[in-house]
Structure 1
Amino acid sequence: MDVIERAVSVLMHDGLVVYPTETVYGLGADAFSDEAIQKVYEAKKRPLSMPISIAVSDFEMLCAVAHVRPGMEAFIQAFLPGPVTVILPARNSVPEILTGGTGLIGIRIPSHDLALRLIERFDAPITATSANIHGLKDPQTPDECTVSRELLIDGGRLSGIPSTVVDLVERRIVRRGAEADKVEQFLSTL
């Protein structure tokens, strides 16, 4: 059994998997399991009022969990897969705990092969929060992943620059990170 198959098995049993992305290590759990999501909050010591983003493998999976309004698709096609998280109106299928009660969900399509293979094999969204205790440094190496988990997929040293978070409803940058200047330039054309 390869590491991706082992990771899928962990996710199917509401476990936590640390996985590499093109930015930092993420903490993955089944995004449709209340029990798994609760474990993510506990592992990170993160306040329940704070939303948690999810990762999907393609545009079709993104549309299954979020409403893509006119004008948003061009931005998504330009920046995803990649180091950008888009905030979109959540569909009813998304657990409210992930939205922090906002009705909005942050979504990534990572451009890291291992992350994409994991999500594709699991065939459902997983959580996409950094694999660290809330408020501490974003993990760039496996040794910096300070959260409890059942499995860690070692992807070596990562860039360490978190994704840029863009609210596509308000058309504004929420957090500057990787490719922030390109994102800003694109937003000014919308």
Structure 2
Amino acid sequence: MESLFNFSTKMLESERYNNEDLKQALAILKQGGIILYPTDTVWGIGCDATNDEAVNRIIHLKQRAPEKGMISLIDQPGLLNLYLEKIPDMAYDLWEVSDKPLTLILTGGKNLAKGVITNDGSMAVRITEELFSKTLCQRLRRPLVSTSANISGEPTPRDYTQIDDQIIKGVDYVVEYRRNDVIPATPSGIIKLGINYEIEVIRK
């Protein structure tokens, strides 16, 4: 997995985050709060993906239909078996060959908040290699919700300056790291793997 998303990690290695900023974000997450933070793609609203109350707060803030589920970030593939009944080999292959962050929708989600898993029992997951979000996942020791920082149906913000005040005021902590980064970000690709390994490209 070392080759995953090198473009993002190399870009950010010179931008070391502030440890106090990380500690503040982590403390909020552990208390069941929600944060606004930079990810390996666009800015995201995040919480402990196993915390029902926190997930419901994000659903309410985004005015999002709860049955849609939400993307979760993890920091290493070895954790996948804790949250999925079965991981097809094809999933690892797709992550390995992807040249940008890739979210996979996989069947058999488990041990996560109800609002993270969709009505059909699948979950959307991405392995982050971005510095800040990866470290958050490591220290939280839980999957981290990563849903775009916008009201449902509104355009996805491409940098911090485009995030609506309603979102900023609705979270418990706004991360300082990368607020001044104005390089336009793009959402991840999304591929759904069916129960019989059918492939459906949701977003390129």
Shorter-chain-normalised TM-score: which range?
Answer: 0.7 to 0.9
Query: Which of 88, 97, 102 is matched with 1:69 structurally?
Result: 88
How far the C-alpha of 1:75 sits from its partner, in A, is: 1.7
Find the aligned partners of 1:79 and 1:64 in 2 and give their Cα distance: 23
Q: Tell whether the 8 Å contact from 1:138 to 1:160 is kept in structure 2 after alignment.
A: no
**Structure 2 CA distance for aligned equivalents of residues 23 and 158 of structure 1:** 11
Unaligned runs of 5+ in 2: 1-18
CA RMSD of aligned residues (A): 1.8
Runs of 4 or more above 6 Å deviation: none
2-structure distance, mates of 1:158, 1:115: 18
129, 152, 174: which one pairs with 2:174? 152
Asked whether 1:173 is paired with 2:201, we answer yes
Q: 1:20 aligns with which of 11, 24, 38?
A: 38
Identity percentage of aligned residues: 23
Q: Secondary structure at the match of 1:137?
A: coil
1:41 is aligned to: 59
Structure 2 residue matching 1:98: 3-state secondary structure: coil
Q: CA deviation at 1:101?
A: 1.3
Tell me the residue number matched to 2:134.
116
Alpha-carbon distance in structure 1 between the residues aligned to 2:27 and 2:183: 25
Aligned length: 175
- 1:78 positional shift: 2.9
Distance 1:158 1:57 in 2: 24
How far apart are the structure 1 equivalents of 2:88 and 2:38?
A: 30
Deviation at 1:110, TM superposition (A): 2.2
**1:96 matched to which residue of 2?**
114
* Structure 1 residue 119, shift from structure 2 partner: 1.1
1:158 and 1:109, CA in 2 relative to 1: closer, same or farther beyond 3 A?
farther
Q: Normalization by structure 1: what TM-score?
A: 0.84
Structure 1 CA distance, aligned partners of 2:57 and 2:78? 27
Deviation sequence 1:48-79 (CA, Å, 0-9, x none): 12111111111012232122123332223333
Q: Name the structure 1 match of 2:71.
A: 53
